[in-house]
Structure 1
Amino acid sequence: MYIRSCGHRLVLDANKAILEELPKPATGIVFGNGRQFVNHQVAVWAAEENIPLTRAGRTGTPTTHM
Structure 2
Amino acid sequence: MLIAKVAVMVYGILAIVGGIIGYKTAQSKVSLVSGSVSGALLVVCSIASFLGQNWGLILGAIVAERLI
Q: TM-score, normalised by structure 2?
A: 0.35
- Structure 1 or 2: larger helix share? 2
Q: TM-score, normalised by structure 1?
A: 0.35
- Structure 1 or 2: larger strand share? 1
